[in-house]
């Protein structure tokens, strides 16, 4: 069973709690994600970051679409239950932007093993915020990446009020699939690992669906991963596992076009 980095919204108050930064930690069966070992992001530093009311993160793909993880949503179809919070690092800020969802598109064939991406269409576009382009080739699928989110700052901890950020290095598929790490669990064709052998820095509960990104050749941000799963948070020899966006880029673009984004 994959250890998703999301919080299950089992309480009616989950959406409200998310905006207050006080979501309860999940049970022991869900060892999930907030940025561990991070520092506070500054206002406007990552304008594309999105907080979702079910306890996940996301990135603004277009003015009316949020790219997140498939395991954060229940399936494809009309969905007006999700609230997206944008434009702030402080979830309690009076200047936050909120939008309701009206439709969710989950990766075709998703069954909990890979293909961990989804698009959430917002009821109305968001203007004035930068979107985050996705990598369409493997050119940026290595190096040092930035992670960011409102998830827990310690394994099993609470959600954060303020957006945190950190950097993590690429871990090769061979290394990540070694017996000392994930022992063959990584789907090499469409997942990326990132983190430190010694641990200490990682995504954690509540960061699922958020972006992993880096600078491209023009020094602009580009998304290379989606927070997916991992064994606990920031443990030694257990790097974070991310959906490899470049592998799905054409499928995501086609889906986005079909949703009007």
Contact by Cβ (8 Å): 179, 229: no
Task: Judge whether 207 counts as a catalytic residue.
Answer: no
User: What is the three-state SS of 108-167?
Assistant: CCCCCCCCCCEEEEECCCCCCCCCCCECCCHHHCCCEEEEEECCCCCCCCCCCCECEEEE
Is the pLDDT score of 33 beyond 70?
no
Each residue's pLDDT tens digit, 186-225: 999 999 999 999 999 999 989 999 999 999 999 999 999 9
DSSP letter at 3 equals -
What's the pLDDT tens digit per position in 214-259?
999 999 999 999 999 999 999 999 999 999 999 999 999 999 999 9
Q: How far apart are CA 203 and CA 234, in angstroms?
A: 7
Confidence of residue 19 (pLDDT cuts 50, 70, 90): very low
Can you read off the two tokens belonging to residue 61?
């793909």
pLDDT value at 174 more than 80: yes
Which SS3 state, helix, strand or coil, does residue 241 take? strand
47-102 confidence digits (pLDDT tens): 999 999 999 999 999 999 999 999 999 999 999 999 999 999 999 999 999 999 99
pLDDT computed for residue 3 by the predictor: 82
| Tally of CB atoms within 10 A around 44 | 11
pLDDT value at position 25? 31
Of 62, 148, 208, 228, which one is the catalytic site residue? 208
Query: Is the distance from CB of 212 to CB of 227 less than 8 angstroms?
Result: yes
Does the pLDDT at position 6 exceed 70? yes
DSSP structure class, residue 194 = E
Q: Alpha-carbon distance 236 to 189, whole Å? A: 24
Please give the pLDDT value at position 137.
Answer: 97
Report which of 9, 74, 2 is spatially closest to residue 31, judged by C-alpha positions. Answer: 2
Q: 32, 116, 141, 202: which is the annotated catalytic residue?
A: 116
Q: What is the pLDDT of residues 113-166, one digit of tens each?
A: 999 999 999 999 999 999 999 999 999 999 999 999 999 999 988 889 999 999
- Whether residue 71 lies in the annotated active site: yes
Assign domain 138-246 one CATH number from 3.30.70.920, 2.40.10.10, 2.40.160.60, 3.30.300.30.
2.40.10.10
How would DSSP label each residue in 39-107? EEPPTTSSTTEEEETTTEEEEEEETTEEEE-GGGS--SEE----EEEES-SBTT-TT-EEEEEEEEEEP
pLDDT of residue 102: 98
Q: Break the chain into its structural domains and give their ranges.
A: 138-246
The pair of three-digit structure tokens given for residue 53, joined into one six-digit string: 């009311």
The label of the residue with tokens 């948070």 reads 233
Among 32, 71, 141, 228, the one annotated catalytic:
71
CB 190 within 8 A of CB 201: no
CA–CA distance, 183 with 7 (Å, rounded to integer): 25
How high is the pLDDT of residue 7? 61
Please say if 173 is a catalytic residue.
no
């Amino acid at each position: 069973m994959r250890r998703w980095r999301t919080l299950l919204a089992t309480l009616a108050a989950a959406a409200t709690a998310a905006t207050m930064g006080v979501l309860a930690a999940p049970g022991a069966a869900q060892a999930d994600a907030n940025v561990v070992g991070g520092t506070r992001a500054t206002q406007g530093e990552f304008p594309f970051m999105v907080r979702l009311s079910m306890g996940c993160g996301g990135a603004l793909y277009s003015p009316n679409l949020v790219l997140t993880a498939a395991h954060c949503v229940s399936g494809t179809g009309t969905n007006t239950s999700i609230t997206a919070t944008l434009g702030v690092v402080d979830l309690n800020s009076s200047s936050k932007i909120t939008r309701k969802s009206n439709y969710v598109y989950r990766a075709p064939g998703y069954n909990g093993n890979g293909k961990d991406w989804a698009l959430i269409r917002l009821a109305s576009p968001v203007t004035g915020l930068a979107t985050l382009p996705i990598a369409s080739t493997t050119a940026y699928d290595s190096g040092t990446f930035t992670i960011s989110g409102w998830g827990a700052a310690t394994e099993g901890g609470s959600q954060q009020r303020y957006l945190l950020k950190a950097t993590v290095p690429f871990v090769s598929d061979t290394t990540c699939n070694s017996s000392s790490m994930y022992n063959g669990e990584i789907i090499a064709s469409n997942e990326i690992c990132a983190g430190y052998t010694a641990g200490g820095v990682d995504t954690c509960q509540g960061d699922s669906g958020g972006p992993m990104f880096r600078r491209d050749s023009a020094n602009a941000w580009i998304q290379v991963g989606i927070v997916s799963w991992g064994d606990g948070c920031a443990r030694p020899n257990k790097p974070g596992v991310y959906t490899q966006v470049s592998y799905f880029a054409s499928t995501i673009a086609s889906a986005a076009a079909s949703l009007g984004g």
